[in-house]
Structure 1
Amino acid sequence: MTKSNCVLPEEHRLPPAFPAGDSPAAQTPQARGARRITVQNALCILCALTALGVLLLAALDKLDEIRARGFLNYITEDLLSVSADGGTLGDRMSAAVFGTVEVGGTDTPDITASAALPAPITLPRIYYIPKEEIAKEIYLEREQLERKIFELYAFDTTKVPAGKYAILPTDLSAGDAIELKNSTSFDIDMNEVAAAAKLLPAETIPTEPLVLIVHTHGTEAFSEEGSICYGDGYNEPRSADTAKNVVAVGRVLCEALNNAGIPTLQCEVMHDRESYIAAYDRSAAAIAEYLEKYPSIRYVFDVHRDSMIRSDRAKLRPVTLYDGEPCAQLMMLIGSDEKGAGSYDWMGNLTLAEAIQQHLCADTLGVARPLCLRGASYNQQLAARGLLLEIGSCGNSLSEAENAARAFAAAFVRVLHGE
């Protein structure tokens, strides 16, 4: 390769170096800038050394304290803790070194605070929501909730047509988790039951069916969505359509449990369709058949809907909110052997109901009505554990009852997991 004799164009040539004696005014901007940066660095280093010297001299007065408390503890406690009087980090550094801190402004008198500051915080509070904003958010959420509740229970009797009867929204929720309506002669200490409920062990979840859902009174249905009244032949809460009655509610409960990993079966037979009186006999036979075929079943839930009608024929609609939506209130009914069903562990059923009730009362806004203990067994003697569920009443809509079934499923799953 030969050496090139090409000459660079004028605009690409390097500028000539300045003679040593040239004045600063004749230098390029780059050269002047470089000299200013050098002077600034020198000034910064000088200031830093001066500050360090001052800190070292001041620290000599506190050497014994630093040795006693340890350097890191001394710095953390006295520099990073939040003073009750406020102040910047510089103020707290001054206080740590010189013993006092002055906090104040032109509109307020200066406050001289002691160097003994509060205990250190775990993390620096750099990003936070002021307490006023937190309170405001809570207030807004509560205000929205209260508005929804007001709208839920508001009722205008003037809108009920002549010849029809009102469906009145009402709150029948339990005052606490141990409230029991006891119609038996048994003396029940609900505090002891509650303590036993808290100790229930987690259930080993099998691959075979664990839960059976039945419907002794399967034709029990609900009021039309959004209805405020009913009448003879209008909005009657009975139906043989399993898409509209308690069988649909049981279907939602079954689906929720299976989705949560709890193997569940549902018997969709409406045992009261042929005869209301013999319904319990037929449902008992069905339960026995399921237990024989699936001996893994330990829990049997008989899903009903309640019926509450006042003397003026107005129906009650026990309702609340669950997940922000209208939700029927439910009641767990526990049978016993008082009326001759034979000896069985009905106290175990009561303990199970109490465990579920505790979660419903803790996790929901009044979904649970008080527990109810009766003298009849309601076929609960057939399985290891059995409950009768009154999900909603004749004044509730189907969607409200289905929402209550989801709430019950969530609470029951927690009990099975030993929570």
Structure 2
Amino acid sequence: MWVKTQRTRVDYLIFALLCMLIFLIGSTIVMKLVKSDGKNVVDEKTTDVETIEVFNYDKDVIENIDKFFLKILSNSNSSMSLFFKQKIKNKEDISFSIMENIPENFNIDDYIKSQFPAAFTFLEKEKGISIKGFENKKRPEILEDIVFIDDMMEKEEGELLEEEKLTEKDKEGIPKAEGIKTFKANKNEPYIAIYHTHGTEAYLPIKQNQYHTQDKKYNVLTIGEIIEKKLESNGHKVLHIETFHDIPSYNKSYAKSLNTINAKMKEQQNLKVVFDVHRDGVSENASYKNKALSQSKIKIDGKDVATFSIVIGPESPNKDEVLKFAKYIKQVSDTMYPGLCKGIIIKPKGKFNQFVSDHYALIEVGSNLNTIDEAKESAKVIGEILSIVIENLQE
């Protein structure tokens, strides 16, 4: 009974569409036949006002297919009608070529879909039928249109994990990976993924848009690229995803980045380790700004290097494994570059997509208080640290 009813609705819908099309064509032809023989229509009582038909030509409209369709466009859409009226009013030469005279940004798919919105909605939502050729086109994403608002989960300071005693060290003085899951991967294909949930997060001198920019030279994409190159120079295979997930919707960043990383890990099942590279954000009126500034960098070989931290989402089902991974990264960092890692921060809530892998780390490299050069120097040493961590966890 249900199937029969649905089929009947579709039949009626198709029939209605055909009727509307026939009506549209018929009205166009009738209007042409009943109009005057091409002369301008002038009110008898006025001599200074002239009304000009939009399509005023002598030959039969069917003889010129361009004229025919332009007539339909004009009669069925007020903005198109205004467009052609304006052209004639300005005495512009109209060749009646559709491609030459319709506006640049006019999209025929969107236009047709807009004329029958109920029909397309029914077919797509109720029947699950996608009308090929009429899908919504992706519009350009413009950074200037975005108002950046701090991610509320990230903005909450969270709990700084207390320092723990280092585990036993190996011959080189690096802590051994104890109680942490190892992984096995094909070393000839990428097994490390680096991506950015908030790819537009930027460093000084960028201050506009609340320290966000699409200019790669100043944002975290460059930081991810440096970490990628350092890992690859040590023999690791890396996939760096340079997608801006925080455009155009900043509050949907994690949903978009989750779709990306899930798709990549499904496509490339050799990916085992995931790093989501961010930078921290400190507001101008933050009560802890002075403290944050004092902890924003350290000296390594005479250079200013931005500090980093690791963020944990307490609601992630694999929180314990992710936390072990984070602790090991910090232990290696503390051994190689004391003070570089500010600590592990457990937020009050959130998952931060960490459930996609037990070897997952959300790393905040510096903050908006750091310059891009300080962040770059940090990326170099972080790459060294992560390289050792991964080597010690590979089977």
The alignment's TM-score, normalised by the length of structure 1, stands at: 0.49
Q: Structure 1 193/333 Cα, relative in aligned 2: closer, same or farther at 3 Å?
A: farther
| Separation (CA, whole Å) in 1 of partners of 2:279 and 2:286 | 21
Contact kept, 8 Å, 2:180 with 2:321, in 1: the verdict is no
Q: Which has the higher helix share?
A: 2
| Separation (CA, whole Å) in 2 of partners of 1:384 and 1:365 | 26
Question: 1:333 aligned to 2:311?
Answer: yes
Question: 1:371 aligned to 2:344?
Answer: yes
Give the CA deviation at 1:311. Answer: 2.9
Quote the residue 1:239 is aligned against: 213
Q: What is the one-letter code of the residue matched to 2:313?
A: G
Contact kept, 8 Å, 1:329 with 1:391, in 2: the verdict is yes
Quote the residue 1:273 is aligned against: 247
Question: 1:216 aligned to 2:197?
Answer: yes
1:104-183 matches, within 5 Å, as 183=159
Q: What is the one-letter code of the residue matched to 1:211?
A: I
Q: Structure 1 370/309 Cα, relative in aligned 2: closer, same or farther at 3 Å?
A: same
Q: What is the one-letter code of the residue matched to 1:370?
A: G
Percent same amino acid among aligned pairs? Answer: 25
Per-residue Cα deviation, 1:115-174 (whole angstroms, up to 9, x for no partner): xxxxxxxxxxxxxxxxxxxxxxxxxxxxxxxxxxxxxxxxxxxxxxxxxxxxxxxxxxxx
Q: Structure 1 326/192 Cα, relative in aligned 2: closer, same or farther at 3 Å?
A: closer
| Separation (CA, whole Å) in 2 of partners of 1:399 and 1:224 | 10
Q: Structure 1 182/240 Cα, relative in aligned 2: closer, same or farther at 3 Å?
A: closer
Per-residue Cα deviation, 1:95-120 (whole angstroms, up to 9, x for no partner): xxxxxxxxxxxxxxxxxxxxxxxxxx
| Separation (CA, whole Å) in 2 of partners of 1:290 and 1:239 | 25
Quote the residue 2:319 is aligned against: 346
1:56-135 matches, within 5 Å, as none
Per-residue Cα deviation, 1:220-260 (whole angstroms, up to 9, x for no partner): 000129xxxx7xx5x96211112221111111111111111
Q: Structure 1 312/193 Cα, relative in aligned 2: closer, same or farther at 3 Å?
A: closer
Give the CA deviation at 1:263. Answer: 0.7
Q: Structure 1 192/292 Cα, relative in aligned 2: closer, same or farther at 3 Å?
A: farther
Q: 2:335 aligns with which of 362, 366, 370?
A: 362
SS of residue paired to 1:277: helix
Q: What is the one-letter code of the residue matched to 2:319?
A: W
Q: What is the one-letter code of the residue matched to 2:255?
A: D
| Separation (CA, whole Å) in 2 of partners of 1:371 and 1:336 | 12
Quote the residue 1:113 is aligned against: none
Quote the residue 1:380 is aligned against: 354
Q: What is the one-letter code of the residue matched to 1:331?
A: S
Per-residue Cα deviation, 1:307-357 (whole angstroms, up to 9, x for no partner): 1235378674401123331110000112232xxx5x3x2211111111111
SS of residue paired to 1:356: helix
Contact kept, 8 Å, 1:202 with 1:416, in 2: the verdict is no
SS of residue paired to 1:257: helix
Which stretches of structure 1, 4 residues or more, deviate above 4 A after TM superposition?
Answer: 188-197, 199-205, 312-316
Q: Structure 1 201/387 Cα, relative in aligned 2: closer, same or farther at 3 Å?
A: closer
Q: Gapped runs of 5+ residues in structure 1?
A: 1-180
Deviates more, 1:300-309 or 1:235-244: 235-244
Q: What is the one-letter code of the residue matched to 2:344?
A: L
Deviates more, 1:288-297 or 1:302-311: 302-311
Quote the residue 2:188 is aligned against: 207
Q: 2:236 aligns with which of 219, 239, 262?
A: 262
Quote the residue 2:85 is aligned against: none
Deviates more, 1:377-386 or 1:192-201: 192-201
Quote the residue 2:301 is aligned against: 323
Question: 1:309 aligned to 2:283?
Answer: yes
Q: Gapped runs of 5+ residues in structure 2?
A: 1-156, 169-175
Q: What is the one-letter code of the residue matched to 2:322?
A: N
Count of residues in Structure 1 that have an aligned counterpart in Structure 2? 224
Question: 1:402 aligned to 2:380?
Answer: no
Quote the residue 1:46 is aligned against: none
Contact kept, 8 Å, 1:322 with 1:367, in 2: the verdict is no
Contact kept, 8 Å, 2:307 with 2:378, in 1: the verdict is yes
The alignment's TM-score, normalised by the length of structure 2, stands at: 0.51
Quote the residue 1:253 is aligned against: 227
SS of residue paired to 1:279: helix
| Separation (CA, whole Å) in 1 of partners of 2:302 and 2:232 | 24
RMSD between superposed Cα atoms in Å: 3.0
